[in-house]
Amino acid sequence: MKEDIKGITADKEKNFSEWYTQVIQKAELADYTKVSGCIVFKPYAYAIWEKIVEVVNDKIKKMGIKNVYFPLLIPESLFKKEKEHVEGFNPEVAWVTHTGNSKLNERLAIRPTSETIMYDSYSKWIRSWRDLPLRLNQWNSVIRWEFKHPVPFLRSREFLWNEGHTAFATKEEAEKECHEILEMYYEFVKDYLALYGIKGRKTEKEKFAGAEYTLSIEYFMPNGKAIQGPDAHFDGQNFAKAFNIKFIDKDEKEKYAWQNTWAISTRMLGVLIAVHGDDKGLVLPPKIAPNKVVIVPILFKKDKEKVIDYCTKLEKKLKKFDAIIDLREYNVGWKYNEWELKGVPLRLEVGPNDMKKKQVVMYRRDNHKKENVKITSLIKKIQDTLDDIQKNLYKKSKKLFEDNLVETDNAKDFENAIENGKFIKAYWCNSQDVEEKIKEKGAKILNIPLEQPKKLGKSLYHPERESKYMVYIAKSY
């Protein structure tokens, strides 16, 4: 019986991990399966992902990039062509060795990412400068058989993503795209998912296996951990050389292409849930919510049919907000709980008296405030409030970062801050020994922010060394 479902019983602040697990299950976002580390994306989570895909896909297409579909399976010989790439991914690859009752002559890797299958085709397709740029993208799922503790959405052995793979005639064009893509992802996540992030370049140690450098956006979770969001890798000519992607340029010389790869994944669903949710459950930013408004009629014996009729008409009027009406035979309190659990941005409560007064009671999921709204001004009021919720959630996300940010050049303060789950702003001498030291403390350099201050502070751990970059450091997924 659905009536039995309880709200969230865990305290987000005190026991984030238990809270997260409860939200995932009680808001019907995901479920575990018999495949270890792989989840079902249930309809509600998948609907949010579909919204993400719709918006990002549109942005990608407007940039002139085209969608394709390459095979799921990659022959081992292709997979191993780029040295750094294979070293990076080999430990996590799922291998197909048999089909039916036959053993394959060559093992096939399930794509952990598709460079190696795509670039074999690129080397056939790219002949002349006229064939460039070649800018392709695919939406699919990938498998990375990690052995760390899996967490739904945040760390899954299978996840959904887009992977863009592009080739250009010049380094300049490729690098320009790489930054444009990062900016596109950044703006999308900011505008739609209402998440505050930091754009930057990964350190040499943390870059994508096979790339020249990796640009990333890092996000900040309520449990004091950071997490990498979308990324864009400038591959230079590394893959072009491994896969022989050459073209005859306008000057009739043969040259290697310059390449990028970039992605956003279902991991962002996890960040969205973790950052915005509260002790009542999920809180969805309006721009990404499958339903921005839910109408709950308050029914008594008297005027029951009239109120239902009134609310059904209202639902139609609010179609542009993907409004839904809850006519199920549960009590009103249970319904309120459920829609709060599911994070619907606005709830409209309509009883016989509201109907008579030509008003509704509007409840805001983000700040729990209720107010009466006249029907005549309802649409505008809803739109304004949704905009306000969207802004408010972004502000909260930024505040989460700022409230937990510690700037220090002192090793002891740094280590304390790490232990206390803070985000740290520090200055780095760009040497691997310091990066290792930070790792030993259980944290890492998230990225080197693209926006650097004019004046750098003292270098962490080695004040005698010249500091090269301001960096953010935290524990990280």
From the list 35-43, 235-243, 269-277, 298-306, the region that binds its own copies by CB under 8 A is: 35-43
Query: Please, what is the minimum distance in Å from the beta carbon of residue 194 to its own copies?
Result: 24
Among 50, 187, 204, 387, binds its own copies (CB under 8 A): 50
Q: Is 2 in the site for its own copies (CB under 8 A)?
A: yes
Instruction: Report the alpha-carbon distance of residue 230 to residue 173 in Å, rounded.
Output: 20
Integer CA distances (angstroms), 410 to 265, 350, 458, in order = 36, 58, 9
Phi, psi of 33 (to 5 degrees): -130, 175
Minimum separation from the CB atom of position 130 to its own copies (A): 6
Q: How far is the CB of 264 from its own copies (least distance, A)?
A: 16
Size of the site for its own copies (CB under 8 A): 58
Q: How far apart are CA 29 and CA 311, in angstroms?
A: 27
State whether the Cα torsion 177-75-69-270 is positive or negative: negative
252 in contact with its own copies (CB under 8 A)? no
- In Å, how far from its chain's centre is CA 44? 16
Question: Could you tell me the smallest distance in angstroms from the CB atom of residue 31 to its own copies?
Answer: 6
Residue 405 interacting with its own copies (CB under 8 A): no
Closest by Cα among 448, 447, 469, 467 to 459: 467
- Least distance in Å: CB of 209 to its own copies? 14
Between 65 and 94, how does the x/- string for binding to its own copies read (CB under 8 A)? -xxxxxxxxxx-xx-----------xxxxx
Residues whose CB is less than 8 angstroms from the CB of residue 284 and which lie 6 or more positions away in sequence, other chains included: 48, 272, 276, 342, 343, 344, 345, 365
Structure tokens at 121: 């085709």
Q: Which of residues 112-141 bind its own copies (CB under 8 A)?
A: 117, 120-121, 124-125, 128, 130, 136, 140-141
- Evaluate whether 85 touches 210 at the Cβ level (below 8 Å): yes
The only residue of 5, 17, 43, 204 in contact with its own copies, by rule CB under 8 A? 43
Cα gap 222→440, rounded to integer Å: 23
- Which residue from 62, 99, 254, 302 is in contact with its own copies, where contact means CB under 8 A? 99
Cβ neighbours of residue 471 closer than 8 Å, sequence gap 6 or more: 200, 425, 426, 427, 428, 445, 446, 447, 448, 449
Lay out the site mask for its own copies across 145-174 (x = CB under 8 A, - = otherwise).
x-x----------x-x--------------
Q: List contacts with its own copies (CB under 8 A).
A: 1-2, 31, 33-35, 38-43, 46-47, 49-50, 66-75, 77-78, 90-101, 107-108, 110, 117, 120-121, 124-125, 128, 130, 136, 140-141, 143, 145, 147, 158, 160
